[in-house]
Structure 1
Amino acid sequence: MTDGDKFVRIHEVGPRDGLQNEPNVISVADKVALIDMLSGSGLRDIEVGSFVSPKWVPQMADSDQVLAQMTPAPEVRYAVLVPNMRGWEGFVAARQPDVTYEVAVFISASEGFSRSNLNCSIAESVERLLPVVQAAQDAGIALRGYISCVTDCPFDGPVAPDAVAQAASLLRAAAPMPLSLGDTIGKATPDRVTAMLRAVLDVAPVDDIAGHFHDTGGQALANIAASMDMGVRAFDSSVAGLGGCPYAPGASGNVATESVLEMLHAQGFETGINEEVIAKAAAFARGLR
């Protein structure tokens, strides 16, 4: 392996994608404490909140307070999910000066999930997020696109690789953003992940692709390995395996950051992340449940 091939970038999603599905209300102080612990681990990317309607995701209703109270590390990029201009305005009002942020937008590769989650078609969902994309570009803030249901949908069943490639093309036409490909209900297998990636890599460079796997079916680490065989070197993970998607039945269980690190480091890959710090953060996160 070359040095470039040896480094794997981990996007920590526990404070947002992880906690959003927890049944108990997590205090702002605890969310901030978790983020601050993770900020000292060597992670470069941490997803910290979501400016969605509190009616739909009440656990994220205090994201503005979280952004205001956390202690940012200069080498970390902090990501927030922003679905519309109301969310954008909330983010702009809450962000701290001199902090590196990333704005995440999301669509589905499945029409059934799009209509259930967003009440619109995939094409319409892209149109809706264009003002956010433009606002982020105008503000010089990095963008990241999430595509859900890249192998299976809880409503439509198996999702064709070409449908994922089409969704990727739509987002990349809006802006040349990196993409996180989500196994939303944890049914992906290595063979199907490989087939999906072959299709997506026809429309987006591998350096702009990350895998986002749930371990519901016990295949997350195997799916990461299959993605790495295809050249992918970025993955989303959640400390202590927190959470999932509140709109996807059975989607609990993001792959645990500590498990991903153990596998990668054992195989000689580099992440720049301190496993001991992550273990302490994972213990803290488990106590929030």
Structure 2
Amino acid sequence: MEEPIATLLLGKPVADALTQRVAARVRLLREQGTVPGLAIVRVGDAPSDLSYERAALKRCEAVGIEACVVALPADVSQRELLDAIDQVNADNGIHGCLLLRPLPPHVDEAMACERLDPAKDVDGVTMASLAGVFSGRPVGFAPCTAEAVMRVLGHHQVPLDGANVTVVGRSLVVGRPVSALLQAKNATVTMCHSHTRDLAASCRAADVVVVAAGRPGLLGKEAVRAGQVVIDVGTNWDDEAGRLTGDVAFDEVAPLVSAITPVPRGVGSVTTAVLADHVVTAAERSAR
């Protein structure tokens, strides 16, 4: 007899529904004379950057966003990078900018992020955008992956009001901003990290677990219980298996919990739809 397996919280229906709504808003903007524009600033040609760039361009084409790529060499100088960002800031036809990270170690990434106009910061890289996330004010945007988590939970109608949620990972890309977004939905959030003394106990106590630590197989069967929802944000390459894996030991955890996002086909597939949504929102704000 096969073991029961959790409901898979797939990203595709979430992304498809959001893409349809975004496309309708783009059509309205175009009728009003505004063509939403995105600039992707890429330094070097890292495979992960190129993969995300292709996915973002495909999504933009699908909804009617005009997208361009500002490709800079891997040995770009700080001055050249800042000048490129200045040009994006000054271009009224560009409503959003995606600065692909991490940047090479010889450039100051924090300085480059802060150079970007927060109004065009569609991936939450500036301090102004992050301040907006934590204060609940519409300044800039949340990081796309953090918001993608919320879109998955919302689409699949996972109750958050009053729920206990454990977030594993405290990065500014996912962990911290998703914690703020969850609290805005009235969830009670516990944040865990590499210094948490009993990670398994903290995870077992939660109704929802969001894992974004960047460590493959971090969350195993000892850290979950029946009835939980597990959101795996990890994207790690497994050389032996030749495929992407998450931060959750899926084969161990899926038979035990109520619902889980797979990797791939989970949160990651929603991020470009969120990116497109942010670009359109920026265009709407600019048009107003």
Same fold flag (TM > 0.5):
no
TM-score range, shorter chain: 0.3 to 0.5
The higher radius of gyration belongs to: 2
Could you tell me the TM-score, scaled by structure 1's length?
A: 0.33
